[in-house]
Structure 1
Amino acid sequence: MNLSKLSVLRPVAMSMVILLLLILGGVSVKNMTVDLFPDLTFPIAAVTATYDGAGPQEIEKLLAEPIENAMGTIPNVESITSYSQNGGALIVVSFNWGTDMDFAALKMREKLDVVRDYLPSGVQSPRVVRFDPSDLPIIQLAVKDVSNEMTEAKRLAEDQIKPLLDSVEGIASVTIEGGTEPEIRLIANPTHLSSYGVTLENLQQMIGSENINLPAGSLLDQNQQLPIRITGQFETIYDIETLPIPTKEGIVPLKELVHIQETLKPVGQLSFLDGEPSVGISILKQSGTNTVQVAEAIHREIESFHKNLPEGIEIKTVFDQSKFINQSISAVTSNMIIGSILAALVLYLFLRNIRSTLIIGFSIPISIVTTFVFMYFSGHSLNLITMGGLALGIGMMVDNAIVILENIYRLRQEGYNKKDASILGTKEVGPAIIASTLTTIIVFLPIVFVEGLAAQLFKPLAIVVSFSLFASLFTALIIVPLFSSQFLKLNSKEKVINPRYTSFIVHYKSILTQALNHPKKVVVITFSILLVSLVGIPFIGTEYLPAQDQSYINMSVKLPEGSSLDATYNVTERINEQIIDVKEIDLTFVTVGGGNNFSLATGTQTNQANYTILLVPIGERSRSDQEIAEVIRSKVKDLPYAEVSVSASESGFSADPISLKITGPNLAVLEQLADDTMRLISNVKGVREPSTNYTKGNPQITVNIDRERASHYGIGSAQIASVITNATKGVVASRLARDGSELDIRLVVDETYTSSVENLSKLLVSSPIGAKVPLHAIAKVERSQGPSQITRTNRLREITINASIVDRDLGSVTKDIENTLRDQIVFPSNQYKITFGGQDEQMNDAFFKLSLALSLAVVLVYMVMAGQFESFKYPFIIMFSIPLTIIGIIVGLIITNQPFGVGSLVGMLILAGIVVNNAIVLVDTINLLKKRGMDTVEAILQAAPTRLRPIFMTSLTTILGLIPLTLGFGEGTEIQQPMAIVIVFGLSVSTMITLIVIPVVYYLFDKKKQVQVTEQS
């Protein structure tokens, strides 16, 4: 233990080291990235391809299948899912976790180059896109105009706010949603134009050719080379109205041919803040940047911009990810501080020495600062997971320091001076401290080899806990002896052992003596308690990741396909009336005309609306976000023709709780199975809002051209399509520059011709021979049903049913669904099957991999102890403390009503390294006393009381340090709470096991060994 001696003999040098650590720690914290979660890399990429005019069946055959076959030859592909719909396909390729996605995307492009020649000639070049969680907005703003003139709000957002935010460092993109823009509309009556011998195409060309400023060369005049510029650009609406148009009736002004008005552009999307029109602004940050710093910079710019806002304009924050990050990290930090205070309090209650308490009090921040230095240089960010790891490590962080300090304190009570007590005290327990720290750290090694989302989340936690333990080892071996050699003084009262503690030692020694006198009875009772506790397993549910209350709720509204924007808006108005009395709602932001992530068509889906509902902070409400979501769900469930889905506590990266995949060859059969499945699972307790990804297609108008009749007039299909497009969408003939902005000059057909199918069929088409032919003369116009979307996974057609769960755990609901479907769903053949995906699939995969990691961790702990003790027997004795912690784990989960999930498994992983620490110190002391000549019973009865105080102290500091997390104080502690519960209850039971059962097991093994030696001799 030369390091401890050096730390005692060189206090000035060690003080400089501590000062350097504090400086490095401060610099590290200042420069570390702050985010909600660690950087997550999802092994998902997609290919998008468009083929205009082709239906889903053709897309499936001509695009999806060849691209699927090509993607299937790429290494490490886990699954391939394609979405074929009218006009294009999306092929999503999922790779195995751990795949290099840069290389995978390169291979996908190479395969596309090979298959491109086999695709139809009209297919636009397919492209590869990567899925990145950072593509989600960190802040959403709403610009509201009290006067409801949304043109001003839209102009302000586009011309001033967006350029302002684009200049902020770390911003990737700024997207504007909703609002309206002005335009100049020229409304034409084709019949009226026909009387003048003019067509829409004629007007478009003439308006475009007249509204120009053009250079026209130059000329030499009086020795000056002067450029010539022709100015004919429109300056006012009057210029448009008086534009002369040549017709067969002569030159007439444009206003006599068309009706001219300044109005608003037709919109496909509307946004509302608290029921009033608004403009939405979504802000994405660059990958790897500090979310909190970027958000603060955004708010500073918006705050300064507020001073220049026009009267009646308001800017409100709808969603701010940094707010939840700050609240979560603040809550975890508060828990760390509370845990540190409780740990110091435990030390004072046991030692009754303020100096020893201060020594431990100083060792905690030094360990934390050292951990921050490790985190910074290893590239880790400050986030919910890493800070949670630090909070978990707080209790364990002082364990090593307490064991060494208590030993030094005991030697001081025995009469050693400060320096000798510090050196000898560290030397006596140093090897055991190193071994116990290594056993705790080694349990995290297997998690490095675990793949999947859970591993990506908890690897940083494991690394940070390891860093904190390394830091605590450094502090215990170096800093604590240094401080003890300088400051640890005992007064006359402290040099005498407390009589109450002496009485407690006598009582414990009596119990231990009784246990050693009846060792087999103790073992039988202990294992009987273990077997009884296993009965509680069926009463513990299972989950993937715990829900996180982030104080906002998402709600999506879907009307029947083809519903208009006005119809969707009317439904949102009814929803607003229904939820207005929910007192926990702070604000609501709704976008009418929501897009579809898998939609390849342009524009928005007018039959959808998406709500973002911001709740008041957790401290200001008595109900959780899920309880509030259930209230909202009950209020809107009876809306006619509307499918409403309400979700809360979404992490943003886990799948739907319930996801059933039905596969088979026939789409009609799959649809029937999906309908039956949705009906059955709707009756399962806890299931909410089952929905399917199968779409039957939009109602549409089909124009079937009679080519033979059309050819008699010299009219082609392209010309008919152009006429109909111009009539329904209009055509931008030119633009009018005014006040620094440009207004579209849109030429449209009078809405009489597009108000019904019958009127559309009367639309006139000009033929090259000069005739005006009505559309119904050359084509059949009728209503029909649009084609459906076809989904395939691994070359099999598939329909997916998703659902949420409320007030029940995932495992119980999944089990009930399995039983229901097994009894009541009949498949027509073996070609059809239902499989579980979503969180159930993720949970089973994580449980399997983490269980293997836990098993390997136990083996590694045994191997480390075997090397430390140079024996296979003593580590085996110590390992008895691991399986018996199951008693505490089961009791803890039942008492707290906490399902068993990934967090609980990670807690067990950490617990496997912690519970052996006290046993290591105890067994090491027993062995040391036996080497000094004591027999087994005498060594046990002296070692156990000697190590009783440090065992209690280290266990209580860990337990009390985790109490705030166990109780779930503050925002963002939901992920750490299951781990804390498992560690607190498991460690509580293991402490009792260490003090009674481990000495008994040691005695039985040693007794057996003595019998064997006697028989051999």
Structure 2
Amino acid sequence: MKIAKLSVLRPVAMGMVICLVLILGIVSLRDLSVDLFPELSFPIVAVTASYEGAGPEEIEQLITQPIEEMMSSLPSVESVSSTSRTGGALILVAFDWGTDMDFATLNMRERIDMIREGLPNEVPTPQVLRFDPSLLPIVQLAVSAPDGNIIEARKLAENDISPLLDSVDGVASVQIEGGAEQEIQLHVDPNRLTAYGLTLTELQQIIASENLNLPGGQLQDFNLNLPIRITGQFTSIYDIKSLPVPTREGILPLSDIVHVVETLKPTTQASYLNGQPSVGISVLKASGTNTVAVARNINRQLEELEDLLPDGVEIRTIFDQSRFIEQSIRAVAWNIVLGSILAGTVLYLFLRNLRSTMIIGFSIPISIITTFLFMYFSGQTLNVLTLGGLALGVGMMVDNAIVILENIYRLRQKGMSIKDAAIEGTTEIGGAIIASTLTTIVVFLPIIFVDGLAAQLFKPLALTVAFSLFASLFTALIIVPLLSSTFMKVNEDSSFFQQGFQRLSAFYKKVLTKSLKRPKTVIIGTFALFAISFAGIPFIGTEFLPAQDQSFISIDTRLPAGSSLESTQEVANEIEERIQEIPEIDLIYVTVGGTDNFTIGAGTQTNRASYSILLKEPNKRAKSDLIVAEDIRNLLQDIPGAEISVSASDTGFTENPISITVKGRDLQTLNQLSNEVIRLISTVEGVREPSSNFTVGSPEITVTVDRERAANYGVGSAQIASAVNNATRGMVATRLARGGDELDVRLVVEERYTASVEELSQLLIDTPTGERIPLEAVATIARDQGPSTIRRADRLREVTVTASILNRDLGSVVNDIQDVLKEELAPVLPTGYRISFGGQNEQMNDAFFKLAGAIALAVVLVYMVMAARFESLFYPFIIMFSVPVTLIGIVFGLLVTFQPFGVGSLVGILILTGIVVNNAIVLIDYINTLKQKGLSSYDAIVEAGPTRLRPILMTALTTILGLIPLTLGFGEGTEIQQPMATVIVFGLSFSTFITLILIPVIYYAFDLRKQKKLLKKQEMQT
């Protein structure tokens, strides 16, 4: 190898190059963005539209259907689903993976513009929003004021806290929820207003026209141009009360006509922190910014703000994404350090030479820092998965260096000079090292062709491992020869460990010679183990991604549709009373009404309460978040009239574990079928909280206009709707500017006129002739019940049943559910109705199919690399026998650790495909080298096996021990890497020991057969 010779003969120049690489790597590390997961891009776009006061059926007909039809015709659309509820619609458009989402979003906005004129005039332009997890809040805060003064808390959040947080570098927006705002209400008696000869609209116009500051031109005085301002703007509530209003009774102050009162603005949402009224603040970061850096800046700003806040004001952090990121990354980083220490210990035990161990130990930080340089220029971020890739690669990083160092050390022991040993040792084994590294790297190439969520998650991990292996190859071929030629010292070691290894080597040689004489026994025995491992597969469950304990639990509570905010508040109070005694809970934050910040929603939801529960850190509690969630379920299961779901370990980008969709024509039939599904799956072990998204119709009042009678009076439907709306909701006449705040001045019809259907029917409608007629004269008013939510998928009605799981794997639960539904429900399923599975089960099956294809392609690529290295199809074929035997260790490891088989396990197998052949490559390469020197196949195998035993065991043990911390799951955030590490550790362990015997036996058996064929061919020719 010329590069090795150059590094040995030009140490100063090479040292300067290494220093430059290290400096660039350290600078790159400083500039790498830190996040929890890689930036994800989902091919989903949401269209939200609002239509205040409209019911679900009107929303569906006037908004949802036109938008659905237009969106369905877009190219690359996979599905269109919608939710229509009172006041708004949400349409989700899912595209095929790999679609250019910028272009797709632009297309959607153009289509919205095309149908804008066809939508009702009262509907604002629908909003098109990309579904981007990075747009979710990174920090959520709760502000509570002394004595529960929620008005002051809201003002403080809007005027003081929000502007300061908005100014933090990296913050995109600050959203405020909850709290209360003041307004001035003018309570109107319609009969009294009629007596004064006024209408509600006229009164509104009079008030609005008086609350103005207007320019009045200019006046020239003493050579000065002075602008004239006419000031008539209200400055106090007294100005409103004393406003003169012309009536048929004369000019009267407004307070004689209406009752003026300053009160709280009606709200459909309220927030509480640990039972105290509070205001919620959600902070969103700018796209592409460093989550941890932004969150740190926010926390630093909050610390400075605390000294300026009034006494009694408290700001608590409900959710801080950076907290879990830092804990996870810290845990993975410590696993890297611990793995490096364990790998270094193995090196010292085998080499018993401190200088040689230091050479290898020095290669680890160099490889890691060089990897950071590659990550920076490829646009990767520091996150749990990329650091997990480093943790996976830390043991493999030293493999190349070990093999080269051991070869140099062996040549030095034979008496070769230190520089010649460095050059010759690297040259002799360099080709095999490059081939073995490439076989590990090429297994990641197929992931490039895989799409979906799993690919987005694990592509950065694959790239990081590939970068670390490139860096380790650079270290092994350049730095190890350089340091070996300078610092290596050979010592005769007769330690207990060395004597033990010599006995082990002798024992291995003895076993190897016996195996070569009984090849059938070895092959049959291996095949038997392989068959037994296949028998163990049914006992391993399956999952998509493992649950992560983020010390966060959410509770979603829903009352019957149409429930008031007050009734929802009562249930929320009862829930809080029950759960506040759970010792693992740190704080409880609840939003009553509306939606939580992690859900795209539309419309009014006063029947909903969303809890955000922050748990104590995992090391300060004995129970996992899943167990705490189960405790909460048990405490809340008997609350009447409320549907309560509790979720924990939510990664934020996975769907419900169980999701069963029933599609058909009739909504009531779908409801009956979904209830039957709930009943059946409730009997399956491990299923928790099965619920349907079908909601009972909301009670409503329908005002049916009699068009002929209305036309006789000269009024239309729009005028009637406006009169009813103004009477029930009021109308903002103007705004009062006072003390830096602006208060709405709202005209409100006295509640007694809209307190019942009978009172509403007597509501007076103004006609063009000046006559006032009751509402019942032109319309029929009746109580009714309409649907609260209408859900569709691909323009078909559907109802979805979802559930959580506990103490069982996803695959086993889904299999049991499918068996139950097939046996009980399928025979009675009406024609035209069908049941399909979605959620994590669909994500899991899709990922399994694509990653299995990637593994198959990886095997082909590994074979091709080895064929190029050996310039033969024969030797790679033999080496590939080391791949399937890894199944023995994989199955055993998953059974022993009670881990289900998931996406992480599949990625582990993908990595293992490239790793396990490395030892066989080194062994076969040396056997061929000995054969070229004139040894027979048998002698070459018997000599090569014990000679390569030490580097093979060293490389295997460093990789295995380097992954032990991840396998044991030390620290937070290691749950995703744990299955990968388990698969690699157990698969490599079994494969190494089997490979040391099986590969030489197969090599010898095929070589004998090859020789026999050659002899037979020669005999035939003679």
Q: Which one is further off, 511-520 or 789-798?
A: 789-798
Q: Secondary structure at the match of 2:758?
A: helix
1:967 is aligned to 968
Question: 1:555 touches 1:612 (CA, 8 Å); kept in 2?
Answer: yes
The Cα of 1:13 is off from its aligned counterpart by 1.2
1:617 is aligned to 617
- Within 2, Cα distance between the matches of 1:63 and 1:182? 33
The Cα of 1:92 is off from its aligned counterpart by 2.4
1:251-307 deviation per Cα after TM superposition (whole angstroms, max 9, x unaligned): 322222222222211211100111111100011111111111111111111111111
- Within 2, Cα distance between the matches of 1:202 and 1:68? 41
1:1009 is aligned to 1010
Pairing 1:527–2:522 present: no
- Within 1, Cα distance between the matches of 2:581 and 2:52? 47
Q: Which one is further off, 526-535 or 463-472?
A: 526-535
- Within 2, Cα distance between the matches of 1:765 and 1:107? 45
Instruction: Flag the 1:497–1:711 CA change in 2: closer, same or farther, 3 A.
Output: closer
- Within 1, Cα distance between the matches of 2:114 and 2:202? 46
Question: 1:332 touches 1:388 (CA, 8 Å); kept in 2?
Answer: yes
The Cα of 1:369 is off from its aligned counterpart by 0.5
Question: 1:352 touches 1:494 (CA, 8 Å); kept in 2?
Answer: no
The Cα of 1:512 is off from its aligned counterpart by 1.3
Where do residues 226-237 of structure 1 align in structure 2 (5 Å cutoff)? 226-237=226-237
The Cα of 1:993 is off from its aligned counterpart by 1.1
1:840 is aligned to 841
1:884 is aligned to 885
1:13 is aligned to 13
Where do residues 167-566 of structure 1 align in structure 2 (5 Å cutoff)? 167-493=167-493, 498-566=498-566
1:612-648 deviation per Cα after TM superposition (whole angstroms, max 9, x unaligned): 1001111111211111111111111111000001111
The Cα of 1:598 is off from its aligned counterpart by 6.2
1:30 is aligned to 30
- Within 2, Cα distance between the matches of 1:725 and 1:805? 46
1:916 is aligned to 917
The Cα of 1:653 is off from its aligned counterpart by 0.9
- Within 1, Cα distance between the matches of 2:504 and 2:931? 25
- Within 2, Cα distance between the matches of 1:449 and 1:33? 26
Instruction: Flag the 1:268–1:958 CA change in 2: closer, same or farther, 3 A.
Output: same
Q: Which one is further off, 257-266 or 355-364?
A: 257-266
Instruction: Flag the 1:496–1:636 CA change in 2: closer, same or farther, 3 A.
Output: closer
1:176-206 deviation per Cα after TM superposition (whole angstroms, max 9, x unaligned): 0001112222222223333333333333222
2:869 is aligned to 868
Instruction: Flag the 1:381–1:688 CA change in 2: closer, same or farther, 3 A.
Output: same
2:689 is aligned to 689
Question: 1:353 touches 1:494 (CA, 8 Å); kept in 2?
Answer: no
- For 2:688, the aligned partner's letter is R
Q: Secondary structure at the match of 2:307?
A: helix
The Cα of 1:248 is off from its aligned counterpart by 2.6
The Cα of 1:131 is off from its aligned counterpart by 1.6
The Cα of 1:209 is off from its aligned counterpart by 1.9
The Cα of 1:15 is off from its aligned counterpart by 1.4
- For 2:912, the aligned partner's letter is L
Instruction: Flag the 1:496–1:531 CA change in 2: closer, same or farther, 3 A.
Output: closer
Q: Secondary structure at the match of 1:961?
A: helix
The Cα of 1:490 is off from its aligned counterpart by 2.6
- Within 2, Cα distance between the matches of 1:258 and 1:866? 94
1:627 is aligned to 627
The Cα of 1:1004 is off from its aligned counterpart by 0.8
Q: Which one is further off, 112-121 or 818-827?
A: 112-121
Question: 2:595 touches 2:610 (CA, 8 Å); kept in 1?
Answer: no
1:560-595 deviation per Cα after TM superposition (whole angstroms, max 9, x unaligned): 001111111111110011111111111111100023
Q: Secondary structure at the match of 2:855?
A: helix
- Within 2, Cα distance between the matches of 1:963 and 1:280? 43
Question: 1:447 touches 1:455 (CA, 8 Å); kept in 2?
Answer: yes
- For 1:627, the aligned partner's letter is I
Q: Which one is further off, 661-670 or 46-55?
A: 46-55
- For 1:477, the aligned partner's letter is L
1:900 is aligned to 901
Question: 2:560 touches 2:695 (CA, 8 Å); kept in 1?
Answer: no
1:690-736 deviation per Cα after TM superposition (whole angstroms, max 9, x unaligned): 22233343211122234444455544433333332222222222222
Q: Secondary structure at the match of 1:684?
A: coil
Instruction: Flag the 1:536–1:7 CA change in 2: closer, same or farther, 3 A.
Output: same
- For 1:206, the aligned partner's letter is I
- Within 2, Cα distance between the matches of 1:375 and 1:445? 17
Question: 1:412 touches 1:495 (CA, 8 Å); kept in 2?
Answer: no
- Within 1, Cα distance between the matches of 2:806 and 2:753? 51
Q: Identity of aligned pairs, percent?
A: 62
Instruction: Flag the 1:156–1:416 CA change in 2: closer, same or farther, 3 A.
Output: same
- Structure 2: which 5+ runs fail to align? none
Q: Which one is further off, 293-302 or 217-226?
A: 217-226
- Within 1, Cα distance between the matches of 2:120 and 2:565? 35
1:106 is aligned to 106
1:538-571 deviation per Cα after TM superposition (whole angstroms, max 9, x unaligned): 1100001111111101110000001111111111
1:800 is aligned to 800
* TM-score, normalised relative to structure 2: 0.96
- Within 2, Cα distance between the matches of 1:262 and 1:55? 31
- Within 1, Cα distance between the matches of 2:156 and 2:55? 41
1:497-555 deviation per Cα after TM superposition (whole angstroms, max 9, x unaligned): 93332222112211112111211111111111111121111110000111111110111
- For 1:991, the aligned partner's letter is T
**Corresponding residue pairs, total:** 1015
- Within 1, Cα distance between the matches of 2:50 and 2:733? 28
The Cα of 1:830 is off from its aligned counterpart by 4.2
- For 2:656, the aligned partner's letter is D
The Cα of 1:58 is off from its aligned counterpart by 6.5
* TM-score, normalised relative to structure 1: 0.96
- Within 2, Cα distance between the matches of 1:181 and 1:124? 24
1:65-102 deviation per Cα after TM superposition (whole angstroms, max 9, x unaligned): 55545444433222222334566654322111111112
RMSD value over aligned CA atoms? 2.2
Q: Which one is further off, 468-477 or 618-627?
A: 618-627
- For 1:838, the aligned partner's letter is G
- Within 2, Cα distance between the matches of 1:15 and 1:452? 44
- Within 1, Cα distance between the matches of 2:666 and 2:858? 48
1:756-814 deviation per Cα after TM superposition (whole angstroms, max 9, x unaligned): 33333333334454544443344332221124543332343322222111111110111
1:298-332 deviation per Cα after TM superposition (whole angstroms, max 9, x unaligned): 11111111111011111111100011111111111
Instruction: Flag the 1:414–1:893 CA change in 2: closer, same or farther, 3 A.
Output: same
Question: 1:869 touches 1:875 (CA, 8 Å); kept in 2?
Answer: yes
